[in-house]
Chain A
Amino acid sequence: MFTKIRLILFMAVTAFLLAACAQPQVVEKEVVVTKEVEKEVTVVVAPERIDITMWVFGSEGSAKADTGELWSDFYSRVINEYEKQHPGVNINFFLRGVEAGGTTTFVDAAVAAGTPPDIYYDGTFRIQKYAQAGLLELLDGAITEKDKAAYDPGILSVTTGPDGIWALPIGTGYVAYVINKTMFEEAGLGDLLPQEPDRNWTTDEFLKACRAINDPPNRYCTMFFAKTPSFDTSFNNWFGGFPGCDLYDKEKQEYVANSPECVEAMTFLHSLQEEGLTVPGPSGFVDDDQDGYWKRQEIAMTGGGFWYNGVTTRGLEDGSIKGPMEYLLVNYPHKPGAPPTPMGTWDPHAWSVFKQDNPKKLAVILDFINYLQQPEIGVQIAAGWNEVSVRNDALNPWADDPDWAWVVPVVQKYGAKNYYYSSGVPCNYNEVRLAWAEARQAFWEPDADIQQILDDFVGQANGIIAECD
């Protein structure tokens, strides 16, 4: 008897658990209104409920870099407004991310499980692999011709494939060299810094300033990091000062970082370490470590550019930087006789949409994307990432900031470049970036054979892209 009871209980619990795991079904409600006077029956179907899942890269509690507002609060406002205007549309928003050296395991796992979000916002390099796997909708229908004309064509081309736009870029950041101006001025070395209006300098001028301010172990001139692929743009941008040095050749469809120009660039950088001008051991650091050295004012200048707008401002506000500390953004140095370095950019952040079965839902999603990319919303999203909007009709909130006033004409004059994106993004990008991080780690070894390291990297990277389908 007891056995039977136990069996029944077990089955009941199992049934309950299985029921709990089952997909909830959305029931379409039918409202029947009877007009007794006319003796007719009218069936009014309530507007179809559309549930949209929207994921934005980030973790719980992460805030906008410009205003400090929580991303969750910001998006709640934006989404509520849209939902109010579109009854029946229900947008479920989540911050989902966790960077894992170039990918996000949340999204990968969801894709592998067949339950990706409908909408995903992230850096283009993380979105691109989903596009290459044919998992994304084209977003040409999300923007009008007028919208399209407002986009920076260079940036839009990054996310446009042969069939159309696979992700809609919103903002991008500039990777200038950032200098602790106060430190130089207090040391009476302010005149060694690049001058207005272009803030360009040669590697010789850079070396002079570097040697003058260097006072290890209390204060190093600069810092590098190579432990992971994260923010490798800040290293890659050094290539711009050595014309002819590039990572990837779009025409030849191969990696070319072992050119004599790249060897020259890397040899110069290596000499900084040999001279004791950098914090020792870049291979053991990630970009977050550099934030710490910057905040503690143990480095005088470094790559990373506009990211340090937010780091410095917030640091001074929350007391993690003991002020006063004024920073100056300047261009990366270029070798004497070469033209000034093009302004580096990090990969644009963009909206993407995973494949949809329901055309009605897709139409709503595209409409929502159109709403999100409008300049007044887009510019707030971009600013939250320390970026500028990629639409030329957007009024950037820091248009009055002298650093932005400097960077825009410089970009117009000398161009902007991202060493992955400007050359076209080949497949297996994350794996190539891992190989590049390894090459950079080897490069910082005291007895590094730079040519050999770059040859090995090129061989490996070309092998990786050869495995593409």
Chain B
Amino acid sequence: MTAKLTGLGREIWRNRVGYLFIAPGYLAFIAFMFLPLAVAIGLSFYKASFAIDQRQFVGLLQYERLFTNVKFQKALFNTIKYVLVVVPATVGLSLVISLLIHPRGIKAQSFYRGAFYLPAVAGGVILSVVWLWIFNPTFGLLNYLLGLVGIEPVLWLASTRYSFWAVSMVVLTFTLGQPIILFLAALANLNQDLLDASVVDGANNWQRTWYVTLPLLRPVILFVLATQTIGVFQVWETIYMLTEGGPSSSSTSLVFLIYQTAFIASKYGKASAIGVVLLILVAIVTLLQLRLWDRSEV
């Protein structure tokens, strides 16, 4: 063991310049990711407010309370619902759009790529402000368009029935861009021989897409699925801008609940406990997806 450690130490010393170069990155990771994570896990066992030095150890009490808390249950349910709605919609839509764009010329491809990626560049906050106007019940564009076909105005953001779907729709608009770029890149690098062979075998467009293109895209699809899932688990700014989680928590998410609990109610211990639950949830889902990914590469 000691010999191993000595060996490791010698190895590090030998490569000290390299380690020195990667040190800033690791230090930043430790300072801004690892330490806050460790502190948050620790804090979840305390009753703590902004007066952090007055915190009181309560063991698992925060966790026990969470699972009987109606608001937490709603947020957990909504978060899972966001993932189940937005992620498949994003992956599916971006895939379809990419398949439609791919056969076009380079100029057209660049245009569409830019057009679809633009919302991702603009960011959730700016888009949400625009959507606030679009969703306005009295002068919003959406209700105006619905009115043209004789549909009564809808309270997109002010009704428990629609607010979740309104938020999902907005999230979808700026999550599409990145997968489209990835899918287009993957499509451009597909093995042309296999595609040509399928044509020689008499496969039509649909059969070629279904039996050749999609299986070849599987690793990219799984990668997009994993990154989108993690991203949607963390949906926050759109909810903050559009609905503040309401009405009656119908559009809230776990991350938004963390924000409310920590920064409005000043309950850092409770907020940390919610954060830990979210961490576990994301970890489980990501591990499952990674397993799928591993299989797809075999």
CB distance from A257 to the nearest CB of B (A): 16
Mask of B43-74 contacts with A, CB within 8 angstroms, 1/0: 00000011111101000000000000000000
Q: A150 at interface (Cβ–Cβ under 8 A)?
A: no
Q: Which of B140-198 contact A (CB under 8 A)?
A: 153, 155-160, 163
State whether B159 touches A283 (Cβ < 8 A).
yes
Instruction: Identify A228's interface contact among B52, B53, B137, B244, CB under 8 A.
Output: B244
Q: Does A325 contact B (CB under 8 A)?
A: no
CA distance A283 to B265 in the complex (A): 20
Q: Is the CB of A282 within 8 A of B158?
A: yes
Contacting pair A284 B265 (CB below 8 A): no
Contact status of A284 and B135, CB under 8 A, knowing A442-B248, A444-B247: yes
Question: Taking the complex as formed, is B20 at the interface, i.e. its CB lies under 8 A from any CB of chain A?
Answer: yes
Given the known interface contacts A111-B50, A284-B137, A438-B246, the answer about A430 and B266 at a Cβ–Cβ threshold of 8 Å is yes
Chain B residues, CB < 8 A from A367? none
Q: CA A105 – CA B157 in complex, angstroms?
A: 26
Chain A residues with CB below 8 A from B17, complex form: 3, 6
Which residues of chain A are near B247, meaning CB under 8 Å? Answer: 226, 283-284, 438, 441-442, 444-445
How many chain A residues have a CB neighbour from B under 8 Å? Answer: 42
Interface residues as binary, B230-271 with A (CB distance below 8 Å gives 1, 0 otherwise): 000000000000011011110000000000100111111000
Q: Is the CB of A103 within 8 A of B156?
A: no
- Measured CB to CB, the closest approach of chain B to A288, in angstroms, equals 11
A280 located at the interface, meaning its Cβ lies under 8 Å from any Cβ of chain B in the complex: yes
In the complex, what distance in Å separates the CA atom of A111 from the CA atom of B50?
6
Q: Secondary structure at chain B's binding surface: helix, strand, loop or mixed?
A: loop
Min CB gap A386→B, angstroms: 25
Does B16 belong to the interface (CB within 8 Å)? yes
Q: How far is the CA of A7 from the CA of B19 in the complex (A)?
A: 11
The one of B56, B248, B266, B267 in contact with A441, judged by C-beta atoms closer than 8 angstroms, is B248
Q: How far does the alpha carbon of A3 sit from the alpha carbon of B156 in the complex, in Å?
A: 62
Least distance between B179 CB and chain A CB atoms (Å): 30
Given the interface pairs A10-B20, A103-B266, A431-B267, the reply to whether A280 lies near B246 with Cβ below 8 Å is no
* One of A101, A109, A226 near B260 (C-beta < 8 A): A101
The number of residues on chain B lying at the interface, defined by a beta carbon within 8 Å of a beta carbon of chain A, is 35
Asked if B138 is at the interface (CB within 8 A of a chain A CB), the reply is yes
Do B155 and A284 have beta carbons less than 8 Å apart?
yes
- Given that A6-B17, A10-B20, A217-B138 are known contacts, is A133 also in contact with B246, CB under 8 Å in the complex? no
Report yes or no: A280 in contact with B158, Cβ–Cβ below 8 A.
yes
Cβ-based interface call for A100 (8 A): yes
Contact A298 B138 (CB under 8 A): yes
A226 to B249, CA, bound (A): 13
Q: Indicate whether A7 sits within 8 Å of B20 (C-beta atoms), given known contacts A133-B49, A279-B137, A438-B249.
A: yes
Q: How far is the CA of A94 from the CA of B110 in the complex (A)?
A: 47
A428 within 8 A of B: yes
Inter-chain CA distance A134–B137, complex, in Å, is: 45
CB of B135, distance to nearest CB on chain A (Å):
7
| Residue of A111, A283, A298 ringed by the most chain B CB atoms within 10 A | A283
Query: Which of A445-460 touch B at CB < 8 Å?
Result: 445
* Other 18 A-B pairs with CB < 8 A, given A284-B135, A284-B163, A430-B265: A7-B20, A100-B263, A108-B50, A111-B50, A130-B50, A133-B49, A227-B243, A280-B153, A283-B158, A283-B159, A428-B265, A431-B264, A431-B265, A437-B244, A441-B247, A444-B247, A445-B160, A445-B248
Complex A-B: 20 CB contacts under 8 Å: A3-B17, A6-B17, A100-B264, A101-B260, A101-B264, A103-B266, A112-B52, A133-B54, A134-B54, A217-B139, A226-B247, A280-B155, A281-B155, A283-B248, A284-B243, A284-B247, A431-B267, A434-B260, A434-B265, A438-B246
